[in-house]
A and B are shown apart, each in its own frame.
Chain A
Amino acid sequence: MLNVRGDFPILSRMVNGHPLVYLDSAATAHKPVAVVEAERDFYVRAYANVRRGVYLLAAEATELYEAARAKVARFVGARPEEIVFTRGTTEALNLVAWGLGETRVRPRDELLVTEMEHHANLLPWQELARRRGAQLLAARITSQGELDLGDFQSKLSSRTRVVSVVHVSNVLGTINPVQEIAQWAHEVGAVVVVDAAQSVPHMPVDVGELGADLLAFSGHKMLGPTGIGVLWGRAELLAEMPPWLTGGEMIREAWIDRAVWADPPARFEGGTPPIAQAVALGSAVDYLQGIGMDRVHSHGQGLTAQALEGLRARPYVTVYGPPDPSRRGALVAFNLQGIHPHDVATLLDQEGIAIRAGHHCTQPLHRRLGIPASCRASFYLYNTPEEVEQLLAALDRVKETLG
């Protein structure tokens, strides 16, 4: 058992007269004091703009910003020059779709995603397909909520330029076999992009082992601040992509009529970046590594297994996604028979229990499941087995109230 709740002050606040039971970390995670302090400390002690000042303070700020990049790089087994700071997963994926679209995608080429994508890993490819006259395909899911690998392979062809998949589904919890997918995709010469928004915060991820080419995640889901995210990319690929935001600090030289781009990662960090947020993300990485991602992962799996078992024992509950907790991330989506997810969430909120209800930015997936919306409980290192029990007991009361 992890014992970290004392590090998260917000967890001791009351909600509607009850202690907060926060089960929505897949949407965003709470912050330990260390991270909040790191951001504050930076403003109080060393704040200046990065990469431009020649004075000491600017040099110190730049060092701290780059040190955060190095920490994030080590966290996912990458080199610092392959780490681009973005505003989040959404911006990272848009940046990639833009860049690859310019260099690799021609009319009638194909892009392959899956039915379980978050809109952040769907709409950028839709837009790219529209812009370049390419075709967007989506591999199907099985009735168990796993990726249909046969369908995936049948949609892969010599015309496929980009394969972009979610590592851990934010609704089904499914962990996709990125290694295999990358191998198949590389055989046809496609670039492999991974939406790691729900994996990097919860399990050890090593970009070298995964075998993908580009990978995106968000700081705010891994105990860091909002407004900071990460794109990892193989050096050769980053080097071939044009920038997505042009302006200050991303060029080597500029004239009135043209410019020469800086090398990555600076090329993709036009304008003043979220400096303090990057520094604080570095501290979130320190915090997670201090605990150990293996322990974070097994804690999440334990809670997920407990929730799955409790939900399945209730005949009025439908659970989505793979039945085996070891094949899932730390979240469970479900529905109560005849009761709308928004009613479930509103009634749970009356007891201080925060869950997500809606389509979780995966409308095509919900359409595929034949439901307009679902409830989702998601867990992180600060959640406890008692909280899972509270959720399950409260669901029985929801059923009594509206069933």
Chain B
Amino acid sequence: MSYEEVILDHWRHPRNKGRLPSPDASAVEANPLCGDVVRLELALRDGRVEDVRFDGEGCAISQAAASLLTEMIKGKTVEEARGLKDEDMLGALGNVVKTRLSCALLPLRALRKALGLGS
């Protein structure tokens, strides 16, 4: 019984968790059915994600995915961040069972919302 090491690692040691003092973009996404919530805050400079924080609560997969996502986009251009696909997120998480895809993709939905894209 276990999750992928990357999920356990980010669940136990979340990266970039907290709030930014004055974010340039932010969004909250929630899954009301299970109570997962993820808030993403971005500091943007010269078309890049200069800094990012996440906050939230919920299952290990949604929170680990949020933590991992902050690492994936930090320092990237806004265009690169916008271009992230579901498969990129799922690939980075390793093996996510199909019953939990909505947990795994919740943070990415928050990112798209923060960047003004439909989820």
Contact = CB atoms under 8 A, between A and B. Distances in A.
A372 B58 CA distance: 9
A340 B37 CA distance: 12
- Could you say which interface size class chain B belongs to? 10 to 19
B99 A346 contact: yes
Contact of B60 (A340, A351, A359, A394): A340
A154 interface: no
Given A340-B58, A343-B61, A401 B2 contact: yes
Interface string B91-103: 0000001011001
A350 B1 contact: yes
Interface in B72-89: none
A358 interface: yes
Contact of A351 (B1, B34, B58, B100): B1
A402 interface: yes
Nearest to A353: B1
Given A346-B99, A346-B100, A401 B34 contact: no
B3 A401 contact: yes
B107 to A, nearest CB: 15
A348 B60 CA distance: 14
Given A358-B33, A358-B34, A372-B35, A401 B8 contact: yes
B11 interface: yes
11 contacts: A340-B59, A341-B34, A342-B103, A347-B3, A348-B1, A358-B33, A371-B35, A372-B58, A398-B1, A401-B1, A402-B11
Contacts of B100: 342, 346
Interface string A326-357: 00000000000001111100111111000001
Interface string B45-77: 000000000000011110000000000000000
A350 B99 CA distance: 12
A336 to B, nearest CB: 12
Contacts of A357: 34
A124 to B, nearest CB: 21
Given A340-B35, A341-B34, A343-B3, 16 more contacts: A340-B36, A342-B34, A342-B100, A342-B103, A346-B100, A347-B3, A351-B1, A358-B34, A372-B34, A372-B35, A372-B58, A373-B34, A394-B1, A401-B1, A401-B3, A401-B8
A380 to B, nearest CB: 23
A252 interface: no
Contact of A340 (B3, B34, B99): B34
A80 B59 CA distance: 49
A397 B61 contact: no
Q: DSSP class of A's interface residues: helix, strand, loop or mixed? A: helix
B12 to A, nearest CB: 9
A73 to B, nearest CB: 38
B1 A397 contact: yes
Contacts of B97: 346, 349
Nearest to A359: B33
Interface centre among A342, A349, A357, A398 (most CB of B within 10 A): A342
A185 B54 CA distance: 52
Contacts of A371: 35
B33 A347 contact: no
A5 B42 CA distance: 56
The CB with the most chain A CB atoms within 10 A, among B1, B34, B61, is that of: B1
A341 B35 CA distance: 10
B1 to A, nearest CB: 5
Which 5 pairs, one residue from A and one from B, show the smallest C-beta to C-beta distance? A372-B35, A340-B59, A342-B59, A343-B60, A347-B1
A21 to B, nearest CB: 13
Contacts of B3: 343, 347, 401-402
A83 to B, nearest CB: 35
B76 to A, nearest CB: 29
B61 to A, nearest CB: 7
A342 B33 CA distance: 11
Contacts of A397: 1
Contacts of B33: 358-359
Contacts of A373: 34-35
Interface string B1-15: 111000010010000
Interface in A202-222: none
A359 B35 CA distance: 9
A180 to B, nearest CB: 35
